[in-house]
Chains A and B, each alone.
Chain A
């Protein structure tokens, strides 16, 4: 890898790391991070495909309250770099991408550990901010805020740069040495892993009231002609209609006797 490429990868990694905590612009989402790594290293299309595959797995990963989810930032950046290293060799692109997906999972745990370290290191930082507030030092608070954000970026940038210096031959040799059953098995496992992310989302939102809508979504999706946008429209319509009916039902419920036929007869 040329110096420029490594520099650009470091910038992407820095953005992804910062976003891993900010959760605003979404540079840490695999579909964005892997695409950017692919773009700066000359493997755009493979990067997009890896990003799309990892995104499907990471859909439900979210930081809720003080709980922190597996870290998408390190998983996407590091697995994309490993993929780029592996692509120059004899192994075909799809196998390299599948292997990168499998590698991403343990990386997301390592990233989680790193972000916990950073969030602990941020405690003294806010104490420095307290001290600056005590003196009315605006610039001090701003500087420490920026340092804290950069620290989260460096958390991903350092491992990314380190990975860039692993010789490509070593990654390729490891991929070539991997038996077919292992590669196929991992890609089968990868197909199932998305279920975990969806389960995390379901557990957050499932109530007696919402379960029927899950069942409906599942069955409607069996009609393969309906695209995701179509599913989205159907979902929005159902939610609006349901809320509307619930509201009108609630206001009628006060006057009605709970017997719809009786109400109709009474109205005559």
Chain B
């Protein structure tokens, strides 16, 4: 019996490296097919020594393919295992390989999108951005390094996992693991987005809803403060006990302060829910964004914000 042809670790790594360029030739006809075929080349070169088999393999891998670019890695792994068996004489036809690819890409894309685009990237992006807003270079570095370490570790280990487990993986996938990851990522994602809406959507209503003349003692009587260090000390002591409301005799309450007493960020929450509703009504996000700028300008001119 001839010795079994196997993919070396270097071959598999080379496939994983190329797989990072999966979406490079993304097209409206067969989507990620070109990048997929490009990724498979090192394996095809290793497994099929003669030209006809190479041509058949290349054509086989130019078929329609589209999934999330990272969770595509286990599909690559399984396909490598199948190709290896086929090269060693197992009766695996083109349809079987395409069937495995198509069968895995749908459910996996359903995990990749919430896990990477809607949970991990908003979290890392928001962490990086909140540092960056103060001009700190740590923000971009944190985002870039953390993302790429997680990303490459993920694509390499899941590809190896797919390669070792082979088609058995489809059993694992249907066994509820994918469902659990999706639901865990969605829960985490929704929790974080809730927090981000509160922290980062800023709306501030400026109209003054009430101005009350405060009783003596509830505000700092600036005429009685002497203009030396003692005076400053006394003013600060009074401020400490009275709070910012004690700075002026007239206590002004803005609409925003009233809303914040209900719950800080209420207006931001309502705006976000309005956007959700508009998006569901198929209003383009671009239209909403431009409308918000116009609303911002008009509301500022009208003195509301």
Would you call A56 and B28 a contact (CB within 8 A)? Answer: no
B164 within 8 A of A: no
Q: DSSP class of B's interface residues: helix, strand, loop or mixed?
A: helix
A181 within 8 A of B: yes
CB A92 to nearest CB in B, in angstroms, measures: 15
CB A262 to nearest CB in B, in angstroms, measures: 29
Would you call A136 and B54 a contact (CB within 8 A)? Answer: yes
Contact with B along A210-246 (1 / 0, CB 8 A): 1101111111111000001101101110111011000
| Nearest CB in chain B to that of A18: its residue | B24
Would you call A65 and B109 a contact (CB within 8 A)? Answer: yes
Number of interface residues of B (CB under 8 A): 108
Would you call B129 and A55 a contact (CB within 8 A)? Answer: yes
Would you call A24 and B191 a contact (CB within 8 A)? Answer: no
- Asked if A222 meets B121 with Cβ closer than 8 Å, knowing A188-B300, A191-B201, the reply is no
Bound CA span A135–B59, Å: 10
Would you call B286 and A108 a contact (CB within 8 A)? Answer: yes
Would you call A189 and B293 a contact (CB within 8 A)? Answer: yes
Residues of chain B lying within 8 A (CB to CB) of residue A232: 123, 127, 188, 192
B77 within 8 A of A: no
* Pick from A35, A109, A144: contact of B34, CB under 8 Å: A144
- Asked if A62 meets B113 with Cβ closer than 8 Å, knowing A102-B293, A210-B187, A228-B195, the reply is yes
Would you call B301 and A185 a contact (CB within 8 A)? Answer: yes
A123 within 8 A of B: yes
* Pick from B55, B113, B148, B204: contact of A204, CB under 8 Å: B113
Q: DSSP class of A's interface residues: helix, strand, loop or mixed?
A: helix
Would you call B140 and A31 a contact (CB within 8 A)? Answer: yes
- Asked if A240 meets B132 with Cβ closer than 8 Å, knowing A24-B20, A31-B143, A129-B62, the reply is no
Residues of chain B lying within 8 A (CB to CB) of residue A219: 194, 198, 263
- Asked if A198 meets B69 with Cβ closer than 8 Å, knowing A56-B129, A133-B58, A141-B41, the reply is no
Bound CA span A200–B140, Å: 23
Residues of chain A lying within 8 A (CB to CB) of residue B28: 66, 119-120, 122-123
B1 within 8 A of A: no
Residues of chain A lying within 8 A (CB to CB) of residue B298: 185
* Pick from A52, A64, A201: contact of B189, CB under 8 Å: A201
| Nearest CB in chain B to that of A19: its residue | B23
A190 within 8 A of B: yes
Would you call B143 and A195 a contact (CB within 8 A)? Answer: no
Residues of chain A lying within 8 A (CB to CB) of residue B183: 209-210, 243
Q: Given contact pairs A106-B290, A191-B202, enumerate 19 new A-B contacts (beta carbons under 8 Å).
A: A24-B151, A52-B128, A60-B122, A65-B66, A135-B55, A138-B44, A141-B34, A146-B24, A149-B24, A189-B292, A194-B201, A195-B292, A200-B279, A209-B183, A214-B193, A215-B194, A219-B198, A238-B191, A243-B184
Pairs A–B under 8 Å by Cβ, sample size 27: A22-B21, A22-B69, A23-B69, A24-B21, A52-B129, A105-B286, A105-B290, A105-B293, A106-B290, A126-B27, A134-B59, A138-B54, A142-B41, A148-B34, A149-B24, A181-B297, A187-B296, A188-B297, A191-B201, A191-B296, A192-B271, A205-B190, A216-B194, A217-B192, A217-B193, A217-B195, A243-B180
List residues of chain A with CB under 8 Å of any chain B CB: 18, 21-26, 29, 31-32, 35, 44-46, 48-49, 51-53, 55-56, 58-60, 62, 64-66, 69-70, 102, 105-106, 108-109, 112, 119-120, 122-123, 125-126, 129-130, 132-136, 138, 141-142, 144-146, 148-149, 152, 181-182, 184-207, 209-211, 213-222, 228-229, 231-232, 234-236, 238-240, 242-243
List residues of chain B with CB under 8 Å of any chain A CB: 20-31, 33-35, 37-38, 41, 44-45, 51, 54-55, 58-59, 62, 66, 69, 109, 113-114, 117-118, 121-123, 125-137, 139-140, 143-144, 147-148, 151, 180, 183-204, 263-265, 268-269, 271-273, 275-276, 278-280, 285-286, 288-290, 292-301, 305
